């Protein structure tokens, strides 16, 4: 099962070099990583592995930053999404145009204000779910260094040099 990123759909083929596809792996990219995580946390189904690609990790950003993001989104949704997706691809030659879909304010709020909890990660580990996190060193969307510090305590983290948000 795969969950798409903010303003995207069906982009999982971009991660084919890292993605493990089988009946017992759940994965997601950016905002989709939150959805994949929540699905694994609340599911009664067998899950062996959770793959989080550039998880939306904004808990180190202050309230002002988050309010400004929402303000710019509400002012011009199309411009905001285009700028956002340009930053997603800043260090990549991947064209996201075929995967675009309109993101909503609710989705943006959810990804900006989502708080990753260590206790929730521990819950997944206690369910025998292996967690893999993929981060790009040159990510222009999230603070990948802070995300690395957070996730490395409870998961396998692949911190990729010269890679951005899209890996």
pLDDT tens digits along 53-74: 999 999 999 999 999 999 999 9
Least confident of 7-11, 57-61, 99-103, 130-134: 99-103
Range of the structural domain that residue 137 is part of: 2-160
Cα Rg, the chain, nearest whole Å? 15
Tell me whether residue 150 is in a domain.
Answer: yes
Q: What does the pLDDT read at residue 122? A: 96
CATH number of the domain that residue 123 is part of: 3.40.50.1820
The beta-carbon contacts of 21-25 under 8 Å, at least 24 apart in sequence, are: 24/48, 24/49, 25/1, 25/49, 25/50, 25/51
| Whole-number Å distance between alpha carbons of 111 and 88 | 15
pTM of structure: 0.94
Query: In this structure, is residue 97 part of a structural domain?
Result: yes
Q: What ranges in the chain are assigned the alpha helix state H?
A: 31-42, 63-75, 77-88, 105-113, 118-126, 144-151
Task: Quote the number of domains for the chain.
Answer: 1
Residue pair 109/31 in contact (Cβ under 8 Å)? The answer is no
Residue 70: what pLDDT?
95
Q: Identify the pLDDT of residue 92.
A: 79
Tell me what the mean pLDDT of segment 6-15 comes to. Answer: 93
Percent of the chain with pLDDT over 70: 99
């Amino acid at each position: 099962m795969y969950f798409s990123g903010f303003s995207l759909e069906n982009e999982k083929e971009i991660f084919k070099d890292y993605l493990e596809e089988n009946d017992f792996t759940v994965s997601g990219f950016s905002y989709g990583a939150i959805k994949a995580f929540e699905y694994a946390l609340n599911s009664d189904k067998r899950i062996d592995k959770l793959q989080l690609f550039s998880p939306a990790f904004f808990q180190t950003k202050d309230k002002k930053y988050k309010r400004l993001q929402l303000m710019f989104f509400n002012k011009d949704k199309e411009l905001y999404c285009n700028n956002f997706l340009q930053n997603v691809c800043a260090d990549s030659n991947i064209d996201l145009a075929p995967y675009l879909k309109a993101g909503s304010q609710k989705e943006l709020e959810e990804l900006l204000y989502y708080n990753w909890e260590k206790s929730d990660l521990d819950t997944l580990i206690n369910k025998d779910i292996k967690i893999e996190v993929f981060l790009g060193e040159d990510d222009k969307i999230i603070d990948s260094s802070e995300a690395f510090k957070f996730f490395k305590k409870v998961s396998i983290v692949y911190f990729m040099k010269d890679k951005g948000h899209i890996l």
